[in-house]
Structure 1
Amino acid sequence: MNRSGRSGVRVQSPSATRYRSHSTESQVYYGSWGRAGGCMSRAIEAGPEVRTNEKEEMQQLNSFLAGYIDKVRSLEQRNSQLREELAGLRASFKVPQGMGDEYQQQFKELRELIERLTHEKGVAEIEKGNTEEEIDSWRLKCQEQRDLKDEAERILREFRKDVDDATLQKGDLERSIEQLVAEMEFLRKMHEEEVADLVRQIEESNVSVELDSIRPDLGAALRSVRVQMEEVSAKNLREAEAWYKTKFNSLRQHATKYDDQIQGTKEEISILQQQIVDLESEIGALRSAIQCLEGQLEDMEASHLEKVASLQDVIAQMEFQLQETKAEMARYLREYQDLLNVKLTLDAEIATYRKLLEAEEQRLGLSNENSAVASSVTKEKKTESSTRKVETHMVRKVTA
């Protein structure tokens, strides 16, 4: 409510305050790298939980941006209403003739202030458009970085699964190698025991032979059998060793291949972790930029509200002074009207006396002087009639 008793419209609108310098935004941007890097290890271990939290934060940021855009649109509507009200006041504010000189300087200052505020509003609208474009650009970058992060997390999960499978296969291969070595050792011992048992049985056998001449042939046969058994044993041993070496080399090749895959997977995981760090840093920088823009918007609103409040106070003062001036003029005109009525009453009495005098002069024969007096009376009546019309018009104009 203004001072004249009429309700005033208070408008919230962004002022012409410029955005803060790029150095501040750069400090905010790069300052978030340390904070993002510190929580990287926990973010990687968290996995899907971190992804869910990041999505919720991005949804909150989108909600903040939507609220910011709606607030700016509402401020534009309120500015339009204020401009229409000012136009209506300017159209209805008509100063009576002779009163405008006193307030011309104040009106000129108000017009200059309105023009300056209009210019500042235009600048603010341009800055608002630039800010909206920048916000859209940052939103697209956020979406792209979030997609890249999701893709990196998916690839990281696949690599972890491959690493786990390769680790299990490596463990299976190592256990298979140990089993084969144990089995080959067991077969070697069994073969040696069988050969020793066979030789012992042959040596301990007591065969009765009647002819002593046959004994040399039996020893030769035993030696031949021993040689054959040793050859068979050596052949089996060589075959087992060759099979063992072939199997061991094949398993070693597979293990080397899996080691290379694991090393490559670790390198890719390291690259993906670095990408996640970069993405979290960019998200922190975007969050800081949004907070900075919100702070600038609040400053613009506060400054514009102060200017609009001061303008409304000036307008209220001018309207109050105008109402006082109109009331004073109306009082003066009423007093003048009363005096004019008294004058007209006196004129009527003078006219009555003049008629009596004219009648007396006609009776005494003074007709020429009477005609001159009549013409002067007619002129005075015409002057009084025109003056009364002007005064009536001024009364209606002031009371309107």
Structure 2
Amino acid sequence: MSLRFSSGSRHIRLWSGTGSIRPSSGGSGFVGSNACGSSVAGSGFSCALGGGLGSVPGGHRASGVLGNAACSGFAGSEGGLLSGNEKVTMQNLNDRLASYLDNVRALEEANAELERKIKDWYDKYGPGSCRGLDHDYSRYHLIIEDLKNKIISSTTANANVILHMDNARLAADDFRLKYENELALHQNTEADINGLRRVLDELTLCRTDQELQYESLSEEMRYLKKNHEEEMKALQCAAGGNVNVEMNAAPGVDLTVLLNNMRAEYEALAEQNRRDAEAWFNEKSATLQQQIFDHAGAATSARNELTDMKRSLQTLEIELQSFLAMKHSLECSLTETEGNYCAQLAQIQAQIGALEEQLHQVRTETEGQKLEYEQLLDIKVHLEKEIETYCRLIDGDGNSCSKSKGFGSGASGNSPKGVLFLELSKTTLVKTVVEEIDQRGKVLSSRVHSIEEKTSKMTSGKTEQKVPF
């Protein structure tokens, strides 16, 4: 087996010698060929670099160069593992290839060992051996072929499953990396949004300030225009009222000087008005700026207070959710406990009902046995009376009949004897209650066994009768 790296096109090719391995008991096997490729059965690695590195018998085959997603395990999305550092990807592929080659060498050694064992076995027990002449194993050939086919199909299915698992694992890693990247972008975007919100608030305050300044300047401009119009009207009226036309031959008036004087007065008046307006504007703007500053501080404090209130609200909502979850869990526990205790109570009530029924049955049987006992006692008394009467009739008025436990018997020398037997029966009902109890003392089941025991007693009464000679 040889490994060649081509630095020009960065292709990896793998050649292996001829030979084949078939797993003996559901293991993994390797099948090699002289072509520039190899196939693996039972391995989760399937890769093709350049001329084709490997293929899985289940039909999963990958080929191509490293830059075009050479390994089928890395085939996921365009933003997979190969989109990162190429050296890291190459190192990963080299590591996987090294482990793959180690597996191939181990499988080749196992193949040689198995072939040696099979050869030894055939030498000992084969058809041509002396020990195998008496045994014909031809009937097992079909079974062996069937088992081999099953082993090959199972190995192929196992390789397919392992390949799918590797693909799913790599896809999960890709999705996890994408999620982490998206999460980082999301956090950065949220930070930018928060910064832009602060900038927007500052710009809003600046815009409000500029609008106030614009309104104040507009009002000042209107005020100045109004003063200018009034002054112009006053000057026009003054100029129109002071026009005197004299027809004297006096020297002419220098209009330039007059215009200069008027211009100077107008400029002085305009400067005075400007200074007054500027002072008024500064006074008003200072007051307004102070109010804006105060309102800005109040707005900042209100904003901070609102933020604190929002945080408190979120904390309280979280606590409320936790308390609601705790309440729900406690309600579920209470419902479950009530159900358990109701079931136990129903079971206890059923046991109590069964015991009451048994007690009622025992009382009924006791009453019946009492009545039977009274009847038997009456029969006994009646029989004793009859026996006593019978004895008196046999023995006569002068002889008395001895009694033994209520039964009389008379005896004399050579008189014929009569024996009277009385059978007294007694029925005993034995009830056994068997209960199954668990470790917590809970009664699982209850059974009642009833056994009737009958005892009979034979009592005899002996009588004598005198026979006259």
Q: TM-score range by the shorter chain?
A: 0.3 to 0.5
Per the normalisation by structure 1, the TM-score is: 0.39
Determine which structure has more spread, i.e. the larger CA radius of gyration: 2
User: Which structure ranks higher in relative contact order (CA pairs < 8 Å, sequence separation ≥ 6)?
Assistant: 1
Q: Indicate the structure with greater strand content.
A: 2
